[in-house]
Structure 1
Amino acid sequence: MKIESIVTIKKELKHLPKEDLLELCLRLGKFKKENKALLTYLLFEAHDEDGYIASVKSTLDELFEGINTDSYFYMKKTIRKILRQIRVYSRYSLKKSTEVELLLYFCEHLNALRPSIHRNITLSNLYQRQLLSIKKKISVLHEDLQYDYNLQLEGLDR
């Protein structure tokens, strides 16, 4: 089966009646969990970005509470899993400020973890890479947001 381009799919969707579009959307939602999550975001949470960020932060809190701190090996696996979740949540929003805010929250939690992530080279490097990533993402935002986020970032850099 040849997969068509987005442009071709868009043209075809323009010719479909409303009922068929609704059926296609529901079928996409049933097909994969990420599709259903994206539809949920677009329908119920896209209008309230602050509420969306708060709900994602509460989800991240639960994930951080579940980290097995007995071994750095288990910590690394869980931390990478959390980071993947943040990337998925950020892709739903498409707003750079949302991604920056979630990554800053992630880094704050990493700093608060006990035993300290800075005693493990891999986790420390992951943390430093996230700080660099945040700096790059902040540079494309509005000046006022840049100032606010840079203040938060300086608090993490210490």
Structure 2
Amino acid sequence: MKKISLKNLKDELGHQSQEELIGLCIALTKFKKENKELLSYLLFEASDEEAYIEGVKEEIDSLFEQINTKSFFYIRKSVRKILTTTKKYIRYSNKKETEVVLLMYFCRKLLDFKPSIKNSPRLQNTFDRQLVLIKKALSSLHEDLQFDYQAELDELQN
């Protein structure tokens, strides 16, 4: 099956009736879990970004509580899973401010985690990489927001 360009898909969707569009959306949500989650975000949570961020933070908290701390291997594996989940939620929102807030929250949780990530170079590298991504996202925000978040970022770095 050949892939069709986004423009062609958009044009074709413009020719569909409302019922046909609803049917296509339902078919997409049945096909993949991420499609269902994205549609849920767009329909129910996009209008209240603060509540969405708080919900994601609660999920991050619960995932950090479930980490097996018997060895750094399990900790690294769990942290990668949490980071993947966090980035998935960031992609749903597609807003730089949400990205900065959630990545900073992830980093703060990682710093507060016991045993310390300083004992594992791989976890430290994961933390450092997220700081680089936060700086990159921060540079695209409004100057006032940059100033507010820069203070938090400086605190994380120290």
**Matched position secondary structure for 1:47:** coil
Query: How many Å separate the matches in 2 of 1:20 and 1:33?
Result: 21
Question: Counterpart of 1:78 in structure 2: which amino acid?
Answer: S
Note if 1:97 corresponds to 2:132. Answer: no
Aligned to 1:138: 138
Any unmatched runs of 5+ in structure 2? Answer: none
Residues 70-128 of structure 1, C-alpha deviations (whole Å, 9 max, x = no match): 10000000001111111110110010000110000000000001110011111111111
Aligned to 2:121: 121
Question: Counterpart of 2:57 in structure 1: which amino acid?
Answer: K
Question: Counterpart of 1:60 in structure 2: which amino acid?
Answer: I
Query: How many Å separate the matches in 2 of 1:78 and 1:4?
Result: 37
Question: Counterpart of 2:2 in structure 1: which amino acid?
Answer: K
The total of aligned residue pairs comes to 158
| C-alpha deviation, 1:69, in angstroms | 1.1
Query: How many Å separate the matches in 1 of 2:133 and 2:41?
Result: 25
Question: Counterpart of 2:38 in structure 1: which amino acid?
Answer: L
Query: How many Å separate the matches in 2 of 1:13 and 1:117?
Result: 49
Query: How many Å separate the matches in 2 of 1:10 and 1:136?
Result: 31
Q: Where does structure 1 differ by over 4 angstroms across 4 or more consecutive aligned residues? A: none
Aligned to 1:31: 31
Aligned to 1:63: 63
Question: Counterpart of 2:58 in structure 1: which amino acid?
Answer: S
Question: Counterpart of 2:15 in structure 1: which amino acid?
Answer: H
| C-alpha deviation, 1:65, in angstroms | 0.4
Query: How many Å separate the matches in 1 of 2:132 and 2:16?
Result: 45
* TM-score normalised to structure 2 length: 0.98
Query: How many Å separate the matches in 2 of 1:103 and 1:138?
Result: 11
What's the RMSD between the two structures over aligned residues?
0.6
**Matched position secondary structure for 1:141:** coil
Query: How many Å separate the matches in 1 of 2:19 and 2:137?
Result: 40
| C-alpha deviation, 1:155, in angstroms | 1.0
**Matched position secondary structure for 1:70:** coil
**Matched position secondary structure for 1:64:** helix
